[in-house]
Structure 1
Amino acid sequence: MEQLIETSIFTDEVNLHHASSGQRFANYLIDVVTFYAFIFCFFFALASVAPEFTNSILVYVDNGLVSLLMYGLYMGTIEVIFQGRSLGKLVTGTKAVTEDGVSVDARKAFLRGLIRAVPFNGFSGLGYHCNPWHDRWTKTHVVDIKKSALPL
């Protein structure tokens, strides 16, 4: 008989209900599209101001590892600015929080972002319960805000 993995964490003051795999996948798709739209706009603006500088930078951006690192820094920055939320999380009603339900601080947000640059991080979230490395290693959770009771 299969044992189901608990998708909620309960304490006296906090009830964290983890976001579903579908919500997490939607977050990822929305965030990746937003990231590439941002990069396109950024380099379009940069090319209009300094075209010779843009051509030399694009050689490095074309590298997959550099793109992953840029995505990680982008996600860390967005989660700091919006207190654990990205555009994907805003759309799906989810949020990144610590184990006690508090919004991620700048340190955890940037760590989460940089861990996203680790090769195969995306595959670490596959399975019945979506718990990728950037959550496990930073001891954070992505929760469904409507179903969770978070501290004020």
Structure 2
Amino acid sequence: MSKIKIRTAQNVEVAFTPASIGDRIIAYLIDLVVFFAWIILFSLIASGLNDRIFSDRIGTIFFFAIGIIPLMFYDLVCEIWFNGQSIGKRARNIKVIKLDGSAPTISAYILRWLFRLIDMSLFGPWVSVIAIAAGGKGQRLGDLVAGTTVIRIEPKVSLDLLRQPVLDEAYEVMIPEVSLLSDADIEIIRQVIQRYKEINDTRLVGQTAQKLKEIMQVESALDDYAFLEQILSDHTFLMAYGDES
């Protein structure tokens, strides 16, 4: 499946792979297994209880509500609690994000959940399958309304990239303005470097370097890739020794 390009809050384009229809169907089936497991567990609990709990209508309604309500709100609660993933999505390594690359708001999750009635229930799953296949951004109707999509989670950084160089106190920071960058900015730089190592995406490296120079208001004689690596080294040093220097 072709990638979708998302412009982040830092005004950098990052490409994501939309979750395939197959992944989403399998995730849905896994969630159905969770549903049936809960129904079986609830039935066993109900059969083991004394019939006196069902002696009046209010007690019966209340008891069965405990079994039904969790199923009704399963997708909504899971996606809010697990940052865009149900148990099925987590098993398939896919998640919900906003089209700008950020985490969905609670209102976006609620819209996705409300439209599941149309997407998955009233007309079966075919409405979702057609919408996802036709749209090109992996969006069912609920995603279109909420401004979200479902993407495949890819390893953000390699182990080699996470293994930062060991820096001692004699290290000289070349770009002290890295202190202006957030953890999210540093994570994007890591992803960009990883992408460059994988597919030699020089355009993304140049775009990222230029944007960072604008944010920090600095100039550098380093080439774009070396500039990004220098930022990571300086950031590592400042995180380790910044308070002592």
**Fold shared, TM-score > 0.5 on shorter chain:** yes
Amino acid at match of 1:17: T
SS in 2 for 1:125: helix
SS in 2 for 1:38: helix
1:142 is matched with which residue? 150
SS in 1 for 2:146: coil
2:90 is matched with which residue? 90
Conservation of the 8 A alpha-carbon contact between 1:116 and 1:122 = no
- Percent pairwise identity: 25
SS in 2 for 1:95: strand
Conservation of the 8 A alpha-carbon contact between 2:94 and 2:152 = yes
**How many Å separate the matches in 2 of 1:90 and 1:17?**
16
Structure 2 length-normalised TM: 0.47
**How many Å separate the matches in 2 of 1:20 and 1:147?**
17
2:22 is matched with which residue? 22
Amino acid at match of 2:88: G
Inter-CA distance 137–34: structure 2 relative to 1 (3 Å threshold): same
**How many Å separate the matches in 2 of 1:10 and 1:16?**
7
Inter-CA distance 103–57: structure 2 relative to 1 (3 Å threshold): same
Inter-CA distance 71–112: structure 2 relative to 1 (3 Å threshold): farther
SS in 2 for 1:117: helix
Structure 2: stretches of 5+ with no match in the other structure: 158-183, 188-245
SS in 1 for 2:151: strand
Amino acid at match of 2:20: S
Conservation of the 8 A alpha-carbon contact between 2:23 and 2:92 = yes
Deviates more, 1:96-105 or 1:84-93: 96-105
Structure 2 residue 121 is the aligned partner of structure 1 residue 125: no
Inter-CA distance 39–102: structure 2 relative to 1 (3 Å threshold): farther
Higher relative contact order (CA 8 A, sep 6+): 1
Per-residue CA shift, 1:34-75, capped at 9, x if unaligned? 1232233245435545751347865xx8xxxxx7x8645210
Conservation of the 8 A alpha-carbon contact between 1:16 and 1:143 = yes
SS in 1 for 2:5: strand
Amino acid at match of 1:101: G
2:168 is matched with which residue? none
Structure 1: stretches of 5+ with no match in the other structure: 62-66
Amino acid at match of 1:103: A
Amino acid at match of 1:125: S
Q: Comparing both structures, which one devotes a greater share of its residues to helix? A: 2
SS in 2 for 1:83: coil
2:39 is matched with which residue? 39
SS in 2 for 1:126: helix
Amino acid at match of 1:120: F
SS in 2 for 1:137: helix
**How many Å separate the matches in 2 of 1:47 and 1:138?**
41
**How many Å separate the matches in 1 of 2:103 and 2:124?**
22
Aligned residues: 140
Amino acid at match of 2:129: L
Q: 1:81 Cα deviation (Å)?
A: 0.9
**How many Å separate the matches in 2 of 1:99 and 1:134?**
13
